[in-house]
Amino acid sequence: MYLFHRMENYEIYHGKQGRYLNIWLILCLFPRTCVSNPYKPNFLLILADDLGIGDVGCYGNDTIRTPNIDGLAKDGVRLTQHIAAAAVCTPSRAAFLTGRYPIRSGMASSTQRQVLFWNGGSGGLPPNETTFARILYQQGYSTALVGKWHMGVNCKTRHDHCHHPLNHGFDYFYGMPFTLVNECQGTDDPELAKSLQDTYWFYTQMIVLAVFTLVIGKLANLFPVKWKIIICLATCGLLHFISWFSSYGFTKYWNCILMRNHDITEQPMNLQKTTSNMLKEAITFIERNKRRPFLLFVSLLHVHTPLITTEKFQGRSRHGLYGDNVEEMDWMVGRLLDVIDKEDLKNTTFIYFASDHGGSLEAHRANSQLGGWNGIYKGGTVWKAHYATPVFQPEASGACFRRGICPCFGDGVTHHDPPLLFNLSQDPSEANPLPADTEPLFDTVVRRMKRAVEEHGKTLTPVPQQLSPYNNIWKPWLQPCCGTFPFCWCHEENNKA
């Protein structure tokens, strides 16, 4: 049984309680109605990272070979109108796991930092959120996540694991608690550092100046201020300084790690063996649980930069390293399908393939683009209104190459009043905004959108902002470490030896 899903990944259903359920979660809740077999079906969910809609054959690509993914589409259901809840990893994956808009769990950022930046941060998917893994675990399923997480690890101490997959319904985890970035490889331009360094250094300078001013004022009796406040401010400045310093070389050790359950197995991770290790873990889990209902969520590191590709697939495609990485991903999908067939689980397993969102247009090396192709699409529903649009760099590129990720706030956006309105059924590429003065439905549609936003806002409950500046700054006492901090390095095979 194949449920194939692509494009921008998230069809959302609205319930009376403000809950949002995607299509396969409904299947999870009503397993007996889905198959003739009276037993509970298995679920194999495969999520690609930053895959563009135009990168696989079943959506029109005729130059990158994806026979296994195309086979899923041919034998199953190809979904074409699903929409991601966010354009970046952390909030999109939070919605994927919970069936709720990320703003409801505090996973939607109100700052320029739209994703988690550190394993050693305190932000992440709140423990009280209900995931599809928890629902199935409570129904007797064996549940596993193999691959990327990127939704936090700890809250208050290095070992509380409050955001960890094992605290969200998975009874087994092997993979990367963070996400692949160029720093993991160490040969490309820094990915996180590019957007972090200037910000951290600016705040470090401002805080140091404020501390210096307060100390002088305190000693000279110019104004009353408690030493406790000065110490807290100085500590904050120190954290910003350490984060700035860490972004120049320690990111590989802090973020590029592998874990098995709560234990760190590689710090930093061996990129050349990551693909084979994760595939082996996924296959072993299927073989180990073939006689009981299971949920296996394979959260691929492909095709996120820096496009770690084994030697076997390098140079095989007609689209450089990115095409090689896509074809290796398809091979991994094929291996998973093979083991499902081998264990005679094909007729009792729902297989669901998707991407967390579209391709990363900003991914590039020199003048070569390394990200996927999104075709004519920019995401959206039947009507779409832009109240603000990014200031693209360069203009009309549809991307923000200088910033790395297009901002949603501040001087990086242009505001529109009235909004730019598009009819996606006639203009799916959003090339021609409807004129406010001549389009007869313009005011009606804008009023309806405004009313929908207001009604949605009434259903929101204030929650802690997980991507706030405080939660998204590196905290040494939260950093996962397999040695004695700060001497954090280990390798599983060496430890076994």
Catalytic residue ranges:
89, 150
Q: Of 297, 33, 38, 336, whose CA–CA distance to 144 is shortest?
A: 297
Half-sphere exposure of 152 (CA within 13 A, CB side): 27
Burial class for 403, CB neighbours closer than 10 Å (0-12, 13-18, 19+): middle
Is residue 26 a contact partner of residue 101, using CB atoms and an 8 Å limit?
no
| 305 vs 298: CA distance, rounded Å | 18
Beta strand pairing status for 294-299 and 77-79?
unpaired
What tokens were used for 194? 């590019």
Is residue 390 a contact partner of residue 407, using CB atoms and an 8 Å limit?
yes
State which H helix or E strand residue 414 sits in.
strand 413-423
Residue 289 has phi, psi (to 5 degrees) of -120, 20
| 405 vs 202: CA distance, rounded Å | 19
Residue that is written with structure tokens 């991307």 in the block: 399
Is residue 116 a contact partner of residue 152, using CB atoms and an 8 Å limit?
yes
Q: Measured between alpha carbons, how far is residue 175 from residues 273, 279, 312, 371 in Å? A: 12, 10, 22, 23
Amino acid residing at 300: L
